Amino acid sequence: MLALPSRRGPTRAALIRRLAVLSAASTALFATPAQAQEGWIPGVGVFIGGAFGAKKGFNWGFETFATYRFREDMCANNPRSGIGPMAQLAMVNLDGPRVTLGLQGGGELSRAGAALSGELGATYRFGDRPGFGIHTGATAIVLFFPISYRAQWLLQDHAFNVGARYAWEGQHSPVLTYGANSICMVGRPLRTSKGVACVDTRACSVGALAASVTAVNDEAFAAGLEWQGAAQYECASIPAFLQLADELLAHDAPNALIEAALAAAEDEMVHARISADLASRYLGTRVWPTLPEVPSRAPLAGRAGLVRLATESWLDGCLAEGMAAERALSASRRAIEGGAKTAQRVIARDEARHAELGWNILRWATHVGDDDARDAVRTLRNAEIPAAVGDHAGVDRYGCLGVRQINEIADRHTAKSRRRLDAWL
């Protein structure tokens, strides 16, 4: 017989009140300040290519632009888009300079991936054949590198160009044309109706980061950026566990599971705070984590909801939280700096408990959901969870592992978890 957690303990009414209090507290403690909502992303670029039409030759020039990003959920997975002014100075060989003013705009094909942008404006050509033209352009952008076709109608000028762009957003640069990249969740991810939310690893700060301050060495600064990202990940796990508690309530799960999910949300509040404290120490300025701005996801009713609880418990709890626990444990053993060692010990202990919660929910959901839930989990038995997305400094003394260490831990944990799943599923 499957041993289910006992329903004795807090009443449902008490658990619902606790969920409401924690939701309000997390919003108050980790709210995003208004100044973090800037939409403008300025940038500059250079381009070279070939001109054809009225004048043939080597086309080269400079551009400046600003993109006003349409306000979307910054941590969601959906592509971003925007529009804004642009100015260009171009020449063919060493004569006939052209000045263009206009608008540019477009959007990403995938989040932080390739993008398409269009241009419309007016051009004035100087030199021996001056005149006005109508400017149009189409640009494909891969990371920081645009490939463009541009035409000045009435002037009979056309050009194909390649180039490079440098843009910045707030204190951070370079960024992509439509904003800074995001990094997918490490630990328990926050899920929305559109998929796994992404986490912007930049926490808010009181002032500029102290990279050039002599009191902050390079290793400490690199570790500070790692801990800043960790604070953001931990902060995003708070609503993830509150959402989990809400879904467990909706499916009349045992009180012990709901209570454990709420306790995990409290743990993540502590993790976010201690990670931010370490980031502040290493970066030389006060930073604080902020909640992702994503819409809440409503529970699914009936058997479909149980299937979702089962599969997400396997992916987000057993695998992702288990990886986070072993990663923190390894980091605590390598760390020399006292604050980092202590923090990673606390995180490792709590994340291991969260992983066990994932296993308990998985057992309950597959028991109640019968074959549908079990078959869905079997289908995802070999699913791969990204372990190290982006760059990781690997500063052991400050409790930060490198990419290779993280991936090795993930491989070991995934293999172990699959064996455990096969043993009882």
Question: Which tens digits make up the pLDDT trace of 330-353?
Answer: 999 999 999 999 999 999 999 999
What is the spatial distance between Cα 40 and Cα 384, in angstroms, rounded to a whole number? 36
pLDDT for 345 equals 96
Contact 261, 245 (CB under 8 A): yes
Contact 63, 47 (CB under 8 A): yes
Global pTM reads 0.67
Map out the domains of the chain as residue ranges.
12-31+201-424, 37-175
With b meaning 16 or more CB within 10 Å and e meaning fewer, what string describes 385-416? bebbbeebbbbbebbbbeeebbeebbeebbee
Residue range 62-76: average pLDDT? 73
Which residues are within 8 A (CB) of 295 and not within 5 positions of it... i.e. 6 or more apart?
73, 192, 193
Which residues are within 8 A (CB) of 20 and not within 5 positions of it... i.e. 6 or more apart?
none
pLDDT for 106 equals 93
What is the spatial distance between Cα 360 and Cα 352, in angstroms, rounded to a whole number? 13
Q: Which two tokens stand for residue 125?
A: 């050509």
pLDDT for 212 equals 41
Residue that the structure tokens 């290793």 belong to: 219
pLDDT tens for 178-210 read 876 554 456 687 887 777 776 767 766 655 454
Class of domain 37-175: mainly beta
Does position 211 have pLDDT exceeding 80, yes or no? Answer: no
* Spatial CA neighbour of 267 closest among 362, 385, 388, 352: 352
pLDDT for 387 equals 64
pLDDT for 143 equals 85
pLDDT for 370 equals 83
State the CB neighbour count (10 A cutoff) for residue 30.
25
